Amino acid sequence: MKTQVGIIGSGPSGLILAQILHLQGIESIILERKTTDYVLTRIRAGVLEQSCVDLLRQAQASKRMDIEGIMHDGFDIAYSGEAHHVNLKKLTGTGVMIYGQTEITRDLIDLRRKNGGVIIEEAEVTTIENITSKSPIIHYLKDGVEHQIQCDFVTGCDGYHGASRKSIPQDILKTHEQIYPFGWLGILSETPPVSKELIYTRHERGFALCSMRNEMLSRYYIQVPIDDKVEDWSDDRFWDELKKRLPKDAANKLVTGPSIEKSIAPLRSFVCENMRYGNLFLAGDAAHIVPPTGAKGLNSAASDIHYLSNALIQYYKNGDEQGLDQYAEKALKRVWKAERFSWWMTNLLHKLPNSDGDSGSFTAKMQLAELDYLFESEAALKSLAENYIGLPY
């Protein structure tokens, strides 16, 4: 089999790229090791930067988002029992869109099927051959049989555990990683959100986040030790712990209900600097991971796809390779700033090792001083706001 662009992974990175290339008449094949039904069971990101919204509109994949998405002009940060508002709209002129990654994936898979695009499901990519040649070959297993696809370019959109990054020779691979000693226990419940906008909470018991997907679908998270198991957390235990971490008025208003999804996500910061190797291009979680605190995971995947799709279109339309040659440098520049912001917000709001409670440690004092400064200085708050809505592409 042959195609122009071989895309490994049908998460948001692979699907958005395939759709934008399709609109330009550039052919691609998506290889996905799971079924698309399985991919649609994943509950992940919820907050979209305006640039990500614009990219989905450019991909003509925003019809349902433009109807069902909710624009938020700000969010709250609660600490020492009080909630403080971050007015994104006033500070930056824009807000963020609340629309679940699962819905984005659903919309893109529907579009792919409608325009006859190929997604080969349950196709596990094992190796990529001749990566530095003009026609790399993707090898994949399906129903126990080995297949291959020859392409001009391979895009590794296969997430942190995918095969593409592992195809880069170890002796040239350059990665950076920080693993946090805690995770996020998240639940989805068919209950009205506790507040109209998000509430990020710093509490001596640990971080908590109140988010949502729509007026009757709430998403909550609490920080838990990295070795906690989801079966250790009954719904009742979760709701009790969440209430202990929220400001009183939010805790009193909280509508609880049965969880329809419950999982623990580990937190890590990770960057692979080789976002290009030969004719293999990495994008999204295959190249970088952030702790979800700053809502930058999906949004950084979007900026990669913006740069990569433009570069591929430039190549196929005018034979110009400049975009491809500059891709890694351009994408990494924005990725590192998203990594910094996510790392900063994670260290600001989570219960960190050697910080026993509010008054007991220097670390906790630094967090509280930073939060006091944030809400006393418009300059500091504007800095947080411009990072949260997303730095320019």
When asked if residue 30 is in the footprint of ligand FAS (CB under 6 A), the reply is no
CA distances from 8 to 38, 83, 183 (A): 16, 43, 27
CA distances from 159 to 72, 166, 388 (A): 28, 11, 23
The mark string for 249-288 relative to ligand FAS (x by CB under 6 A, - otherwise) is ----------------x------------------xx---
Residue 293 near which of ligand FAS, ligand PHB, none (CB within 5-8 Å, type-dependent): ligand PHB
Segment 33 to 52, residues that bind ligand PHB, using CB under 6 A: 45-47
Beta strand 2-8 with 28-31: parallel, antiparallel or unpaired? parallel
Q: Please, which residues have CB within 8 angstroms of residue 319's CB and are 6 or more apart in sequence?
A: none
When asked if residue 342 is in the footprint of ligand PHB (CB under 6 A), the reply is no
Alpha helices in 69-141 (DSSP H): 88-92, 101-114
Structure token pair of residue 167? 């195809």
When asked if residue 211 is in the footprint of ligand PHB (CB under 6 A), the reply is yes
Start-to-end CA span in the chain (Å):
35
Segment 292 to 311, residues that bind ligand PHB, using CB under 6 A: 292-293, 295
DSSP of 263-301, one letter per residue? EEEEEEEEEES-SEETTEEE-GGGTEE--GGGS-HHHHH
Residue 136 near which of ligand PHB, ligand FAS, none (CB within 5-8 Å, type-dependent): none
C-beta of 149 vs 338, nearer to ligand PHB: 338
Residue 101 near which of ligand PHB, ligand FAS, none (CB within 5-8 Å, type-dependent): ligand FAS
When asked if residue 154 is in the footprint of ligand FAS (CB under 6 A), the reply is no
Beta carbons of 82 and 246 less than 8 angstroms apart: no
Burial class of 298 by CB neighbour count within 10 A (0 to 12, 13 to 18, 19+): buried
CA distances from 326 to 153, 186, 306, 391 (A): 15, 38, 13, 19
CA distances from 100 to 72, 218, 313 (A): 14, 11, 28
- Closest approach, Cβ 201 to ligand PHB, in A, equals 12
Q: Which residues are catalytic?
A: 72, 200, 292, 296, 388
- Closest approach, Cβ 286 to ligand FAS, in A, equals 6
Residue 265 near which of ligand FAS, ligand PHB, none (CB within 5-8 Å, type-dependent): ligand FAS
- Closest approach, Cβ 263 to ligand PHB, in A, equals 11
Residue 206 near which of ligand PHB, ligand FAS, none (CB within 5-8 Å, type-dependent): none
- Closest approach, Cβ 217 to ligand PHB, in A, equals 10
Beta strand 124-129 with 118-120: parallel, antiparallel or unpaired? unpaired
When asked if residue 387 is in the footprint of ligand PHB (CB under 6 A), the reply is no
Structure token pair of residue 342? 């996510």
The mark string for 246-265 relative to ligand PHB (x by CB under 6 A, - otherwise) is --------------------
Binding residues vs ligand PHB (CB under 6 A): 45-47, 198, 211, 219, 292-293, 295
Binding residues vs ligand FAS (CB under 6 A): 8-14, 31-34, 39, 44-45, 101, 124-125, 157-159, 162-163, 265, 284-285, 292, 295-298, 301
